[in-house]
Amino acid sequence: MNPADQIRREVRDSKQKIVVLDDDPTGTQTVYDVPVLADWSIDALAAELANDLPVFYILTNSRSVSLAQAREWNLEIARNLRIAAGRTGRRFVVVSRSDSTLRGHFPGEVEALIEGLDFRPDGILLIPFFPEGGRFTVGDIHYVADGDCLIPAAETEFARDPVFGYRHSNLHGWVEEKTQGRTPAHCVRSISLDTIRCGGPEAVAACLDSLSDAVVCIVNAFTERDLAVFTAGLLAAEHAGKQFLYRTAASFVASRCGLEPRQPVTAKDLELGAGGGLIIAGSFVPKTTAQINMLLAETDTAAIELEVQELLEADGTAHVASVVDRVAAELLAGRDVVVHTSRNLVAGTTTQETLEIGKRISESVVEVVRSLPVRPRYLLAKGGITSSDIATEALGVRRAMVKGQILPGVPVWQLGPESRHPNLPYIVFPGNVGDSRALLTVVRALANARAAEAD
């Protein structure tokens, strides 16, 4: 039996809602026709629980804040979910979606959810598999693809993140590291590729049935079918009464929902406006820098730099105002514009200082978009934290719909009527996804559509 067919039948029959707490907007990388909320009030959650859609996302953007703030938000959302579920009578499961390169507030967010939901899951399932971005878990080691090579995650640039860095690629050691030894490596369980491929869903269900008392369990996967077989076994275990909390990358959500593959979004699917398109690049990872350089080398896209050191001065208002004027002029002239922060990473002497610097830069980027007097043809935000802040703070988004993906791992939203630019195509482009030509590919496709419209 095709595991995907089995999953869809189980999801349909269970009528459980899947609620995804997303620590930045890039978690919508694998889904379509589902809502994203920036509002976790009881009323908003109850409205989503009551509709017939299988899943909804709650954008917390918690990767941009301190652990204490992330815990507080997760606790509040979990408590509100319990009340909303009581009001609607709808059962639900929770996915804590985070970065496929292992950056994020683990285990703090999961612990807050357990407290707020007031239940002790049998297992916490750790599933960072995300093939669209080249992330694979084999032999309990998490890998990041670099061309034809698989690099252990701890040997990549992502492991040197100033806030969420780590030393272990083996996820047993990673869990021990992130829990500061409270969960020793030998206490972490795992489901191997052999179990998935040789035993099928029945063997997976048997492994999951042996979990208890919120034990952390690693899920290995190298292909979409591996994940589908695992998910089929997971649903069988849940049907038999087991309860789990998921800490995952983006791919698991589509598998757990039983979503069928869909063709990429094209310009014809979007309500593109007039004028130029606006690209905002806040991500500082080398991959983003390479993509910007390629875009500027092969197109006539205007490049306007937000100087980080000027933004960190006592008053960066004049610099922001100057950038706004230049961007507006280019957009009105029909020219695409990329606004990017300085490509050098400015870090503080402590984790908190680094977060504060990031917040200050993000506030300036938000002010540029919020102050623009013109509507762009589309808006593309590069980087997870950047795209969240622009959506919620600059554009006033409270609810958006995910249209699909314009490239693998690159979702497109349609903004809601409450936003500053209703129906604006909003492209959430993760900082760590795609090759050096990926950004160029998207911008060029949208520019070609504009040229075709002119003809």
Pairing of strands 92-97, 17-22: parallel
- Assigned architecture for domain 3-257: 3-Layer(aba) Sandwich (3.40)
Alpha-carbon distance 219 to 211, whole Å? 13
97 C-beta neighbours (distance < 10 Å), count: 27
Vertex 217: Cα angle to 212 and 219 (nearest 5)? 140
Alpha-carbon distance 230 to 309, whole Å? 48
Rg of the chain, C-alpha, whole Å: 21
At residue 217, φ and ψ (nearest 5 deg) are -130, 120
pLDDT at 282: 74
Query: Which helix (H) or strand (E) element contains residue 281?
Result: strand 278-281
Query: Which helix (H) or strand (E) element contains residue 291?
Result: helix 286-298
Per-residue model confidence as pLDDT tens digits over 304-350: 988 877 777 766 788 889 999 999 999 999 999 999 877 555 566 67
pLDDT at 346: 59
Tens of each residue's pLDDT in the chain, 455 residues: 678 888 888 888 888 999 999 998 888 999 999 999 999 999 999 999 999 999 999 999 999 889 999 999 999 999 999 999 999 999 999 999 999 999 999 999 999 999 999 999 999 999 999 998 899 999 999 999 988 999 999 999 899 998 899 999 999 999 999 999 999 999 999 999 999 999 999 999 999 999 999 999 999 999 999 999 999 999 999 999 999 999 999 999 999 999 988 899 999 999 898 899 999 987 667 788 899 999 999 999 999 988 877 777 766 788 889 999 999 999 999 999 999 877 555 566 677 777 677 777 778 889 999 999 999 999 999 887 888 889 999 999 999 999 999 999 899 999 999 999 999 999 999 887 888 999 999 999 999 877 666 65
**What's the half-sphere exposure (Cβ side, CA atoms, 13 Å) at 433?**
28
List the chain domain ranges.
3-257, 267-454
Q: Do domains 3-257 and 267-454 have the same CATH topology?
A: no
Pick the CATH number of 267-454 from 3.40.980.20, 3.40.50.170, 3.20.20.70, 3.40.50.300: 3.40.980.20
Concatenated DSSP letters for 145-196?
EETTEEEEGGGSGGGG-TTT--S-SBHHHHHHHHTTTSS-GGG-EEE-HHII
How is the chain split among helix, strand and coil, in percent rounded to 5?
45, 20, 35
pTM over 0.95: no
Question: Which bin fits 262, alpha (ψ -120 to 50), beta or left (φ > 0)?
Answer: beta
Residue 78 DSSP SS3? helix
